[in-house]
Amino acid sequence: MESVQATKQRFGIIGNDKGLNRAIEKSIQVAPTDISVLVTGESGVGKESIPKIIHSLSHRKHGKYIAVNCGAIPEGTIDSELFGHEKGAFTGATQNRSGYFEEADNGTIFLDEVGELPLTTQVRLLRVLENGEFIKVGSSKVQKTNVRIVAATNVNMFEAIQKEKFREDLYYRLSTVEIHLPPLRERNEDIHLLFRKFASDFALKYKMPSIRLDEDAVSSLLKYRWSGNIRQLRNIAEQISVLEQTRAIDASTLRSYLPNAGNNLPAVVNNKKSESDFSNEREILYKVLFDMKSDLNDLKKLTLELMRNGDSDQVRSDNESLIEKIYGNDEEQEQYEEELEEQMEVLQIPEKSENKATSQQTIEDKYSFAEEIQEEETLSLQDKEIELIKKSLERHNGKRKAAAEELGISERTLYRKIKQYDL
């Protein structure tokens, strides 16, 4: 069995991190078998190296190795790309075509970004994994293929399964063995080593002296979080190599090439946030609004009782439970009563009216006041709804489908409200 160090030299893998070494070790161990493998890790960590190691150390090494980026193929054509199609199967299908699974027979197929596969394609892929069978688009003939499948994803698969974007049974078929590659920020000892290798490569490529980092620059390099991982590090090394006149790079020069370098404090990242957290916040906001509406309705009821009766003691007696519900205890109730009396003075209603006969004009004025309260309440809720819709549309760059999902309404309802509020 080939050693980890020999494999790294053979495939140009740089680094001595324990997590990286463990991933390569698992690749070497699983290579002689035919079981499917799922490679996980953030974008830019070098997941494409693992399937190459597995294929080259397997008994299929003389067969074809085909890498397919599932996220780059349009949904309408991905079935044809993977499984092939018959002539006349759809518009533009002028001849029979073999798909990747037919071409890679007795070899290895690498499905990168497998989490982006449409659900209908996932069903077809599951059948290939279970019994090696597939059907071309536009055909009824079942064909057989003998391929080794290695898949990779940067998606949280359990979250995708919960959201019904990925089939659970397919996940367990793909991840017979799961190999995880750690992000660059967890490979602290490898960061400067990789940077030096990239700087040397670009010096050779562009025929110029290699750039060098001073101690402070190396410290800044190690503290940066590298959200783009190795791909981002390589990009930064190339930029500095080409653009800087001097070959000695200090910390301030390096930081000028690092996005958000001044705001690079460690943070706890919860991949589950986004939609679920916003959904909870939205539910809390709706609850508060509806509670406010309920309280306003209760207050309106008391106000109308006062306007009809004019006797505060009688109103207090008849609505004792309602007052207790709103204000809770005696101290708050006393405060309410003081406010109630002030309100009566504003409405020019005596605390105890001996003559309960009121002119028609006075009654109309009072009911007009109540209607104004109702209108203000309605406008307030409408304003909140408009504000929520605007924020959601801005957050999703005007994409109505994503905004509708976030707001918990249908896209059709959102379209109607956009038209209604002239947004």
Q: Tell me, what's the pLDDT at 411?
A: 78
Domains defined for the chain, CATH in brackets? 4-182 (3.40.50.300), 186-255 (1.10.8.60)
Interatomic CA distance for residues 68 and 114, integer angstroms: 9
Closest CA to 154 of 238, 70, 34: 70
Length of the chain: 423
Dihedral sign of CA atoms 217, 223, 226, 229 in order: positive
Tokens at 201, concatenated = 């490569």
Strands 133-135 and 142-144, sheet pairing: antiparallel
Q: Among 72-76, 90-94, 96-100, 352-356, whose mean pLDDT is lowest? A: 352-356
Q: What is the mean pLDDT of residues 217-225?
A: 95
Which of 21-35, 195-209, 317-331 has the weakest average pLDDT? 317-331
Give residue 281's pLDDT band: very low, low, confident or very high (50, 70, 90).
low
Give residue 7's pLDDT.
Answer: 96
Q: By C-alpha distance, which of 142, 76, 143, 82 is closest to 110?
A: 82
Check pLDDT > 90 for residue 79.
yes
Q: Is the pLDDT of residue 243 over 90?
A: yes
pLDDT reported for residue 253: 95
Using CA atoms, how far apart are residues 111 and 106, in angstroms rounded to an integer? 16
224, exposed or middle or buried, with CB in 10 Å at 0-12, 13-18, 19+?
buried
Alpha carbons 310 and 97: distance in angstroms, whole number: 87
Q: What is the pLDDT of residues 395-407, one digit of tens each?
A: 888 888 888 887 7
Q: Which residues of 29-44 are buried (b: 16+ CB within 10 A; e: fewer)?
A: ebbeeeebbbbbbbeb
Of residues 293 and 95, more confidence is placed in: 95
Q: What is the mean pLDDT of residues 220-233?
A: 95
Q: Work out the angle at residue 22's Cα, subtended by the Cα atoms of residues 18 and 28, and round it to the nearest 5 degrees.
A: 145
Indicate whether 271 pLDDT > 70.
Answer: no
pLDDT of 155 strictly over 50: yes
Instruction: At 121, list the tokens.
Output: 């394609």
**pLDDT of 343 strictly over 60:** no
pLDDT at residue 58, rounded to an integer: 96
For the segment 30-34, the average pLDDT, to the nearest whole number, is 96
Alpha carbons 190 and 422: distance in angstroms, whole number: 55
Name which residue leads in pLDDT, 62 or 260: 62
In the prediction, which pLDDT does 352 show? 44
pLDDT for res 305: 66
Amino acid at 68: V
Q: What band does 333 get if pLDDT is binned at 50, 70 and 90?
A: low
One-letter amino acid for residue 382 of the chain:
Q
**Contact criterion met (CB below 8 Å) for 193 and 237:** no
Q: Which residue has the higher pLDDT, 301 or 322?
A: 301
Q: What percent of the chain has pLDDT over 70?
A: 74
- At 110-147, the pLDDT tens digits run 999 999 999 999 999 999 999 999 999 999 999 999 99
Q: Where are the beta strands (DSSP E) in 64-188?
A: 65-69, 84-85, 97-98, 108-112, 133-135, 142-144, 148-153, 177-180
| Poorest-pLDDT segment among 77-91, 231-245, 368-382, 386-400 | 368-382
The chain-wide mean pLDDT, for the chain, equals: 83
Indicate whether 244 pLDDT > 70: yes
pLDDT at 359: 46
For the segment 6-18, the average pLDDT, to the nearest whole number, is 95
Pairing of strands 142-144, 148-153: unpaired
Cα gap 152→148, rounded to integer Å: 14
Say yes or no to pLDDT of 283 above 80: no
210 versus 335: which is more confidently predicted? 210
Whole-number Å distance between alpha carbons of 110 and 125: 13
Mean pLDDT value across residues 319-330? 58
Confidence of residue 277 (pLDDT cuts 50, 70, 90): low
CA distances in angstroms from 130 to 54, 87, 93, 152, 158, listed in the order given: 21, 27, 29, 19, 21
